[in-house]
């Protein structure tokens, strides 16, 4: 994906986002990265968006979401990022009162990206809801493998198959 940074196009590959983030929340990092890719082209189909002009509201407080948004938009560093767990869209996790959506605010437009139901398997939600101290070595390994496999899968998909945009 390409975004404007300091007036110049900046290519942002997923591999760089993953290196920035680390390994803890790869599924949400990849999903949010793909969601941003689709959202930014909808905000400005003809030219890259200037990231300094973006503000972001996320319904999900997790580190993968935050790091994807920060890597692409620098909104966290710029103080242009908020988390609002009460956003009404994409309340797909039966174990947590959060929204798997984000809103990009640019110029006079707001674009909502909402994760489609069924993109994440039920087992993902169950594993991330489990308190860390209740994980066995086997469930920790399962969670890591599942997050990695989700990341690999969603990076091969088009953003429209993962998110509804409005």
Residue 129's CB is within 10 A of a number of other CB atoms, namely 11
Predicted confidence at residue 132, as pLDDT, reads: 84
3-class DSSP state for residue 58?
strand
C-alpha atoms less than 13 angstroms from C-alpha of 60 in its C-beta half-sphere: 27
* Per-residue DSSP letter, 96: S
pLDDT at 156 over 90: yes
* 143/163 Cα distance (integer angstroms): 23
Domains, the chain, ordered by start: 2-165 (3.30.1330.130)
Average pLDDT, integer, range 24-53: 96
Predicted confidence at residue 95, as pLDDT, reads: 93
Predicted confidence at residue 33, as pLDDT, reads: 98
Q: In whole numbers, what is the pLDDT of the chain averaged over residues?
A: 96
pLDDT at 24 over 90: no
Q: What whole-number percentage of the chain has pLDDT above 70?
A: 100
Question: What are the residues whose beta carbons fall under 8 Å from the beta carbon of 39, sequence distance 6 or more?
Answer: 102, 104, 111, 113, 159, 163, 165
Q: Using one digit for the tens of pLDDT, what is the confidence trace for 46-80?
A: 999 999 999 999 999 999 999 999 999 999 999 99
* 14/7 Cα distance (integer angstroms): 21
């Amino acid at each position: 994906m390409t975004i404007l940074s300091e007036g110049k196009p900046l290519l942002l590959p997923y591999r760089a986002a993953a290196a920035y983030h680390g390994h803890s929340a790869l599924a949400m990092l990849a999903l949010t990265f793909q969601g941003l890719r689709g959202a930014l082209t909808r905000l400005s189909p003809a030219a890259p968006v200037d990231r300094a002009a973006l503000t972001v509201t996320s319904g999900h407080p997790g580190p993968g979401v935050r790091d994807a948004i920060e890597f692409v938009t620098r909104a966290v560093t710029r103080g242009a990022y908020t988390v609002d767990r009460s956003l009404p869209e994409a309340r797909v996790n039966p174990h947590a009162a959060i929204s798997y959506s984000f809103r990009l605010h640019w110029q006079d437009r707001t674009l909502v990206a909402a994760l489609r139901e069924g993109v994440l398997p039920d087992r993902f939600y169950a594993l991330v809801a489990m308190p860390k101290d209740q994980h066995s070595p086997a469930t920790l390994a399962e969670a890591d493998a599942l997050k990695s496999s989700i990341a690999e899968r969603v990076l091969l998909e088009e953003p429209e198959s993962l998110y509804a945009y409005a």
